[in-house]
Structure 1
Amino acid sequence: MIQADLWPFLPESEVDLRGVVALLCGSAAAAVLVLRWVGQRRIQEKMEQARRTRDLSLERMEKVARRFKQQNPGIQAGHILSLPLVELAEKLKEGSLSPESVLYTYIDQALEVTREVNCVTDFMQSCEEQLREVQRQKERGLLYGVPVTLFPTPPKGHVSTGGLVQFLGRVEEEDSVIVQVLKRQGAIPFVKTNVPQSMINYDCSNLIFGQTVNPLNHKKSPGGSSGGEGALIAGGGSVLGFGTDVAGSIRLPSSFCGLCGLKPTNNRLRYAPKDVDSLALCMRALLCEDMFRLDPTVPPVPFNEEVYSSSAPLRIGYYDGDGYFQPSPSMRRAVWETKKLLQEAGHTLSFYYLKMLKCWLGSGTLQLDWPDCLLSPLPPSKGDIVDPNLKSQINCYRLPILVKKILALILKPVVSHLYVYPLRTLIAMGDAQASTGWEEFIAKWRQLELDVMLCPALGPAFNKAATSYTNLYNVLNFPAGVVPVTIGTEADEEELKNYRGHYGDPWDKRLREVTMGLPVAVQCVALSWQEELCLRFMKEVETLARKRKRNMGPDDDDDDDDANDLHL
């Protein structure tokens, strides 16, 4: 008001100057808006072009599959798709199945699956050239003629976006090491699958290729970050998929989609097929001289067949909760039912009390790296738009550290640590406590003289949840795999109505999700570099769970009274 009253008495030159300043400010603001609009439009155009390219890829898939079916009308596609990897590889190697029939059958099936759940983002037409190369090989590798799917490292000539627009133009100039080794073992990479934006999310959505849904229930996520792989394999469109696992990116999709998946010790391999023998075959194929020569970071330690084939009783630790995220009724039941089966089979089991918060949230290294990994490729500094599924996570990570600490202190008396999880994720307590947590975990393991660990795998197919059950073993750098052992039941659903979590806060209430009929897995863990022992344990669990399923009648009670008698 005072400024307005003085305006008529200012010198004419100053009045003119104010007008110029106002005009410049307005012009600058308009210019910023125009530039922002232009930038957004360019991003939209790049995404539209990527979708057109993807659609052309799918059209090529349809064309080659149709051509093969027309030329080979007698192919028994159902039989080929029903074979587990080990049996499929045997039939290919002995010649009772041709690589052509297997490849084009899987191309056709992958196309059908992606029409249903939107999981394939790129068809590698070079697979036909690789098919011819495989047939010229004098020695047939362990994966001779096996079609495989990939994320996030496609072959030469293809793009790995991580769900981000800025990477759309970055074409791979050479095959990655794992692709080279796969090809030398006779495998045929044929499609690339969808991922969440930035790949640090257990959902599977990005603004380029859209949302991938779970083939078992379209209202559910297939998990992430390798959700496209999990959805494709669960739908029968692939028999073996490869990816990464920073905090559960292989294990979560495997759990949500009813598959077996393995996260080895760092620098050993990550992949997901349908059964444990397939995992073992893949380890045999990839832990070879070619791998050790091409990638010096992989220790030159071949697959130990003696450990995997052993039948000696195991000493197994177990827990059904980590003290951080209360397991769903079906998660808890899966552990106790598996524990009972293992005891009946002659193994020794010991309860392992897990002090999760100190061991996991005290891990400064991984937690402090997460925000940088997630934020570095995203706006405002880069040419992308944040996917709506990531916005709340991103907004929290962008808060200044002081604000996060203040909010965490304010919210702590009101809601549980789960609800302030994104804040606490960024307020890690340092490497010293991470090291202490690791030492305590190992000391307890040694005290109980354990071989392996049985624990929950997150599931079934949560849309909103915490990744603590998988993340722990990334921090500890232990090999960990998941094995489906049961499905959600009416009893689980009924018990879920009373689910409060540890604190009954708003976060816990979001976790009351439908579980009926969805697969439920357990997690199997071994110490670092003991992948063969981890796989041997996974095989034992898989065998016992399958035997139990065969022996159960349709009216048998799926509940385990022992589990209900204990409250840990």
Structure 2
Amino acid sequence: MIQEKLRQLLPEVEVDPRAISALLCGSATAILVLKWVGRRRIQEKMEEARRTRDLGLERMEQAAWKFKQKNPGVQTSFILSLPLVELAEKLKEGSLSPEIVLYTYIDKALAVTQEVNCVTDFIQGCEEQLQELTKQKEKGLLYGVPISIKDHIGCKGHISTGGLVQFLSKVEEEDSMIVKVLKRQGAIPFVKTNVPQSMINYDCSNVIFGQTVNPLNHKKSPGGSSGGEGALIAGGGSLLGFGTDVAGSIRLPSSFCGLCGLKPTGNRLSHGGLVSPIMGMKSVTGTIGPMARDVDSLVLCMRALLCEDLFQLDPTVPPIPFNEEVYSSSKPLRIGFYDGDGYFQPSPSMKRAVQETKRLLQGAGHTLVPFSPPRIDYVVDELFTKGLFSDGAANLLDKLKGDIVDPNLKSQVNTYRLPVVLKRIGALLLKPVYPRIARDLNALCGVGSAKNLWKQHAAVEAYRKEFIAKWRKLQLDVILCPALGPAFNAGYPGKLFAATSYTNLYNVLNFPAGVVPVTTVTHIDEEELKDYRGHYGDLWDKRLKEAVEGAVGLPVAVQCVALPWQEELCLRFMKEVETLAHKRKQSLTY
């Protein structure tokens, strides 16, 4: 066939079959060589990144050792036991020095990452910043507090990888906006933490730095995409960290690791200087926010960040300072609640966490009103999935070109790579048997045109109005609902991306939402899980059951939600939930 074609194209040239065979073999060899060279370059980039990481860990070890030699007898266990608010007070009054605190946390972070593989970079500038800090006359609200930041949050002189090889060669020329404000408030960013490849996953693994595991149970995922943050803070290696959230990426690792995390309204905090594989996507709102061991830490953080420095550095952020009056109010709340969204049946512990919290809130004098999110199937498929992948995942796939796909992301990426026609055919064939999976596959085709994208944006606005109208009709202040959990077995988040329905709803709506741990998985929960069937009885329901198995003793959280720009009310509600849950735990202990 090839010879015949060549004769047609070159009729006067005698075609030698042996020459053609040699040409084809040579071409095939050239292609293989090019592929090998490309793969080798990728390997070299990854190896260089790992060497940089390992060198950073060595420097952390040396810095901690030198400090211990100069300061024998420092009570590091006491420092590590202090809550953030108390530590910040001691730093500000001078009873603890920033130097002691920083090196204590450098040493602890090193120990934690050796156990769970969560630190990707040591921010060497922290030692220089420490020297400058001691010369400052004015002390910010976070004076001397060591801070950890998610890998893709820009830090001058460091690489923001996003778990992708494409980003390995770009060294940040300046700090991100949030890092600039943190430094002005006296905080000391000292490490960057691991993420899943591309960050469109809520496990925490990439081919550059490997898998991060949950410090509470190494067979479990720490969640993601801010999974390195969750693991480091839960392991005690950081007091306060920063993650980002476009589908639950702050709230899911907080839930899986037993932490408190806040997803603010989009642009309440500046997201300038962040790397993203889906830059330009506007249908679903991503945001940056804090993660910590308690709500008080989140409150202190928001007080510090919502300052004049932030508003001047980024004039696109609305100049709304922290509202102390709203946060400190003791007025009883009118709380909407639901213990299942109708899309994914909650695990037994998820449902119990909401029901127990509801009773505690009622006992404290608050009014609880049943609420159900309208048209949740429509939200997940048509607004979230179709919005997040409105380009048919083209931008994301571009960022993965030439990369080695992480095993935990393969099932997702293989689906994204299917031609639109095959997605449509697959959805049609699956619809009678697995309607939910069929709708999701259809949504992954994207919107198809700019005209349809405008329609999609209009649909999000219409749904937001519908949701707020229902909220107003019931005269709600806030909403209590489940947070996905307990921690999934490693590898399962990549197979259950749609299970983020409990969190991604509030990215579509652009409402502030936080999670608070309130209980732990019991043996009764584990027994009840055996009867779990889900709403659809499909492959996803089966996988969710498998994902949460073996979690006795692990934390379970609830989600607290407020209307846009009401972070203070959301935090006030979170604090109320945390206080009541703590009192209940104490009463059961005694």
Normalising by structure 1, what TM-score? 0.92
Over 3 Å counting, the alpha-carbon distance change for 1:237 and 1:134 in structure 2 is: same
1:553: how far off? 3.8
Structure 1 residue 361: Cα displacement:
2.3
Residue in structure 2 matched with residue 229 of structure 1 by the alignment? 229
**Letter paired with 1:130:** Q
Q: Which residue of 1 aligns with 2:406?
A: 387
Aligned mates of 1:217, 1:27 — CA distance in 2: 52
The 1:231–1:149 alpha-carbon spacing in structure 2 relative to 1, beyond 3 Å, is: same
Q: 1:422 Cα shift?
A: 4.8
Corresponding residue number in structure 2 for 1:566:
none
Structure 2 residue aligned with 1:495: 528
Q: Please give the alpha-carbon distance, in whole angstroms, between the structure 2 residues aligned to 1:57 and 1:411.
A: 49
For 2:468, which of 434, 442, 448 is the aligned residue? 442
In structure 2, the residue matched to 1:337 is 356
Q: How far is the alpha carbon of 1:178 from its aligned partner? A: 1.0
Change (3 A) 1:137 1:495: same
Shift of 1:418: 4.5
In structure 2, the partner of 1:48 is 47
Deviations 1:241-288 (A, max 9, x none): 012111111111100000000000001231101111111110110111
Hey, what does 1:94 align to over in structure 2? Answer: 93
Q: Are the counterparts in 1 of residues 393 and 446 from structure 2 also a CA contact under 8 Å?
A: no
* 1:486 and 2:486 are equivalent in the alignment: no
Q: Post-superposition shift, 1:127?
A: 0.6
SS of residue in 2 equivalent to 1:201:
coil
2:343 is aligned with 1:324:
yes
8 Å CA contact 1:484, 1:542 repeated in 2:
yes
Aligned to 2:421: 402
Q: Distance in 2 between matches of 1:478 and 1:3?
A: 61
Matched, 1:537 2:573: yes
Task: Measure the CA separation in 2 of the matches of 1:24 and 1:401.
Answer: 35
User: Separation in 2 of the partners of 1:494 and 1:148?
Assistant: 40
2:585 to 549, 557, 561: 549
Aligned to 2:486: 460
Other structure's SS at 2:114 match: helix
Report the Cα offset of residue 369 of structure 1. Answer: 5.4
Following superposition, the deviation at residue 173 of structure 1 comes to: 0.8
SS at match of 1:435: helix
- Which residue matches 2:276? none
Q: Deviation digits for residues 405-446 of structure 1, max 9, x if unmatched?
A: 221121122225157645534457933433332222111101
User: What's the RMSD between the two structures over aligned residues?
Assistant: 2.1
How do residues 72-87 of structure 1 correspond to structure 2 at under 5 angstroms? 72-87=71-86
CA distance in 1, matches of 2:461, 2:388: 12
Question: Matched residue of 2:291: which SS?
Answer: strand
Instruction: Give the C-alpha shift of residue 217 in structure 1.
Output: 0.7
| 2:98–2:144 CA contact under 8 A, matched in 1 | yes
CA 1:369–1:95 in structure 2 vs 1: closer, same or farther (change >3 Å)?
farther
Q: Give deviations 1:34-88, integer Å, cap 9, x for gaps.
A: 1000000111111111111111111110001011111111211111111111111
Segment drifting more, 544-553 vs 503-512? 503-512
Which residue does the alignment assign to 1:244?
Answer: 244
Show the counterpart of 2:19: 20
SS at match of 1:70: helix
Name the counterpart of 1:30: 29
Matched with 2:67 is: 68
Note the 1:184-203 alignment, pairs <5 A. Answer: 184-203=184-203
Residues 411 and 418 (structure 1), Cα distance of their counterparts in 2 relative to 1, 3 Å cut: closer
Separation (CA, whole Å) in 1 of partners of 2:392 and 2:230: 23
Match of 1:377 in 2: 399
Q: Where do 5+ consecutive residues of structure 2 fail to align?
A: 4-9, 270-288, 448-454
- Partner residue, 1:558: none
| Aligned counterparts of 2:34 and 2:444: Cα–Cα separation in 1 | 35
1:314 matched residue in structure 2: 333
Which secondary structure does the structure 2 equivalent of 1:362 belong to? helix
Distance 1:423 1:256 in 2: 30
Aligned to 2:258: 258
Change (3 A) 1:511 1:360: closer
User: How has the CA–CA distance of structure 1 residues 525 and 12 changed in structure 2, closer, same or farther, with 3 Å as cutoff?
Assistant: closer
Equivalent in 496, 505, 512 of residue 472 of structure 1? 505
1:505 aligns to 2:538 (yes or no): yes
| Per-residue Cα deviation, 1:101-128 (whole angstroms, up to 9, x for no partner) | 1100000000000000000011111111
Moved more, 206-215 or 502-511: 502-511
Identity %: 71
SS in 1 for 2:191: strand
CA contact (8 A) 2:181 2:305 kept: yes
Cα distance in 1, alignment partners of residues 52 and 352 from structure 2: 45
CA contact (8 A) 2:80 2:236 kept: yes
- The 1:406–1:193 alpha-carbon spacing in structure 2 relative to 1, beyond 3 Å, is same
Looking at structure 1, the residues matched to 462 and 446 of structure 2 have their Cα atoms a distance apart, in angstroms, of 17
Asked if 2 retains the 8 angstrom alpha-carbon contact of 1:163 and 1:206, the reply is yes
Matches within 5 A, 1:516-531: 516-531=552-567
Contact residue 430 and residue 437 of structure 2 kept, 8 A: no
**CA displacement, residues 295-327 of structure 1 (integer Å, 9 cap, x when unaligned):** 112100100000000000001001111111111
Q: Give, in whole Å, the separation in 2 of the partners of 1:88 and 1:418.
A: 49
- Number of equivalent positions: 545
Flag the 1:173–1:3 CA change in 2: closer, same or farther, 3 A. closer
Question: Would the aligned equivalents of 2:427 and 2:438 in 1 still touch at CA under 8 Å?
Answer: no
Q: Which residue of 2 aligns with 1:557?
A: none
Distance change in 2, residues 1:275/1:370 (3 Å): farther
**Which whole-Å CA distance do the structure 1 matches of 2:387 and 2:11 have between them?**
62
User: Post-superposition shift, 1:90?
Assistant: 0.6
Correspondent of 1:358 among 358, 363, 378: 378
CA contact (8 A) 1:117 1:213 kept: yes
Correspondence for 1:116: 115
Query: Which runs of structure 2 are paired with 1:132-147 in the superposition (5 Å)?
Result: 132-147=131-146
Measured in 2, the distance between the counterparts of 1:510 and 1:72 equals 52
Aligned position for 1:164: 164
Partner SS for 1:368: coil
1:287 equivalent in structure 2: 306
Q: 1:346 aligns with which of 330, 340, 365?
A: 365
Instruction: Please report the TM-score for the alignment, with normalisation by the length of structure 2.
Output: 0.89
Please give the alpha-carbon distance, in whole angstroms, between the structure 2 residues aligned to 1:50 and 1:343: 52
Give secondary structure in 2 for the equivalent of 1:311. Answer: coil
1:430 corresponds in structure 2 to 456
- Residue in structure 2 matched with residue 8 of structure 1 by the alignment: none
SS at 2:262 equivalent? strand
Q: 1:148, 1:3 → 2: CA distance?
A: 63
Q: Distance in 1 between matches of 2:382 and 2:396?
A: 20
Offset of 1:169 from its aligned partner?
Answer: 1.6
| Distance in structure 1 (CA, Å) of the matches to 2:380 and 2:414 | 23
Which residue pairs with 1:267 in the alignment? 267
- Shift, 1:167, TM fit: 1.3
- Matched residue, 2:38: 39
Counterparts of 1:39 and 1:505, CA distance in 2: 40
Q: Which moved more, 1:395-404 or 1:124-133?
A: 395-404
Where do 1:173-192 residues align within 5 Å? Answer: 173-192=173-192
